[in-house]
Chains A and B, each alone.
Chain A
Amino acid sequence: MARRVAIVSVGLTRTSSHRRDVTYPELVHEAVSAALAQTNLKAKDIDAVVYGSMDPFDGVFAPERWNVDACVGAGASNKPFIKLTTGGTTGGSVALGAYYHVTSGLFDVVLAVASQRVGSTLEAQLVLNTCIDPIYERWMGGGAIMVGANQAASHFHYYGTTEEDLAMVAAKNYANALNNPYAHLRRHLTVEDALKTRMVSWPLRFSDCCPSSDGACAIIFASEERARKITDTPAWVRGEGQITDNYYVGDRPWFQDWEALSILARRVYNEARINNPLEELDVAELYNAFTIQEIIECEALGFCEPGKGAELIRKGVTTMEGKLPVCPSGGTLCTNPIGASGLIRIGEAALQVMGKADKHQVANVKTALAHVWGAAIGFHVLMILDKEAP
């Protein structure tokens, strides 16, 4: 029988395009120390560590070795340590791994850590290109931007979404990030400004694309018994899941819809007994590396009908004042330390449930959804967190 599990603490770092003030282990230490400092836990109280990064960005293979001591001294104190890497979903997989450790009953208090220094690479798209099929597809120069831009081109074609819609999503996220001290892009952006930024990959402009960030996140997962002792504000895991799609992007050219995410959402809502997500969720932290993805994610997650995602931003449903605020943190669009971004989504959702999101706190949050995508838009992770134990 799976045990109840809660997030009891979240540690975030400041993020920027190059955190040259800290070494890589110092960056991880910053996140882990912040997570410990929220609780009365000491490094010795952590039973096991689940760590993740998306290897090549940092410029070292197996960066877990570099960071093993920054994760509560796991190396020096000989703790169990697992590394997970699943492309952009790495941070989501790390959270699931830590959750599985605890819900299985094998461990009581587990630290999830994800970190990335995209700033170590001088061309992130060139690194991303190495994950594209080397026999048939890599030569075209594709990377993350190409798949995001394909989604936008198809959504424009089939559903009539416009550049203005994307600009509204960007302006909303930039405004939210201004209230988040851990966000990377913290500047005012109007819809008019966004539409004047240069075209990157049609129809995505510069303001539609996430930055390359250095950053880390640490989250402590605990069993019910321990969680209630550690904190008065646990964020309970009410539902979670992961899904994969097949390998060749060309096998699934319906870029306007995110079928795998729809399937996963149905599974996870069923587990969490959620019938109407727009009514029952109070906030969502979605992995919106590109503006169009927030629109498609809202559709796939059932916040609206397929093809109607742009109406949510036009009507203000997803703004801070709206019925279902999306990405109060500014989302992945404003901060993207790639392997860490998924864990940041889950951490931000937890902070909202805990009531600890400070200036970007949504009022009266009971239930929060976090989403992560990765692997050439083929992988997704979802986690639903709640103020009440399930």
Chain B
Amino acid sequence: MTQEEEILVMPGTWNLPFRYTAGRFASRFFRELRDSKKIFGVRCPQCRRVLLPPRPFCERCFVSTEEWVEVGPQGTLEGFTICYVPFLGLPPPPIATLFIKLDGADSCLGHILGEVDLSDPDKAKDAVKIGMRLEPVWRDERKGEISDIEYFRPVS
């Protein structure tokens, strides 16, 4: 191939609409968020773990779950990161994504952090700590989706 040979690049896009079936369990979970500002998990009848997000069967015991258990609303931070770089099509930075073990639950809910200044990484890393206590801040107009909780904030 010679230096001056022109190589073409063909543009393309994928913009494919989908619909994801939430199912009975997620539907009830989101209805409770929307209508009563309550967070529910389900208890496995065998290992007794309270699973969040709620799901129709315990993947460890492989038995159906039926018992709904209210959890939280406060919880403990189990894992996190703070993103500082913009990625095309994804939420703008800085954004802290959290894994929160809500009181009474045995697994973590993923959510985002609010009311904490994240702009300086050196300061933010001291403000966001594993083990810190968090509470949800609810939207006034809720649609029955996970972001009906606008964000979690440190318990003052």
Contacts and interface: CB of A to CB of B under 8 A. Distances in A.
Contacts of A21: 1, 7
A198 B85 contact: yes
Interface in A225-248: 246-248
B147 A143 contact: no
A269 B107 CA distance: 31
Interface in B87-114: 87-91, 95, 97, 99, 101, 107-112
A196 interface: no
Interface size class of A (residues with CB under 8 A): 35 or more
A157 B130 contact: yes
Nearest to B20: A134
A141 to B, nearest CB: 4
B97 A142 contact: yes
Given A154-B130, A253-B79, A141 B84 contact: no
A129 B95 CA distance: 15
A157 B78 CA distance: 10
Interface in B1-39: 1, 7, 9, 12, 14, 18, 20, 22, 26
A135 interface: yes
A249 interface: yes
B134 to A, nearest CB: 14
Contact of A250 (B87, B107, B146, B147): B107
Contacts of B60: 246
A150 B110 CA distance: 12
Given A146-B81, A253-B78, A59 B87 contact: no
Interface string A108-132: 0000000000000011011001000
B26 A136 contact: yes
Contact of A141 (B7, B79, B95): B95
A372 to B, nearest CB: 23
Contact of B83 (A136, A141, A158): A141
Nearest to B109: A250
Contacts of B79: 150, 153-154, 253, 255
B90 A141 contact: yes
B78 A202 contact: no
Interface of B: 1, 7, 9, 12, 14, 18, 20, 22, 26, 51-53, 59-60, 78-85, 87-91, 95, 97, 99, 101, 107-112, 121, 124-125, 129-130, 145-147
13 contacts: A122-B88, A123-B88, A129-B90, A135-B26, A139-B147, A141-B83, A150-B80, A153-B79, A199-B121, A200-B84, A202-B84, A250-B109, A253-B101
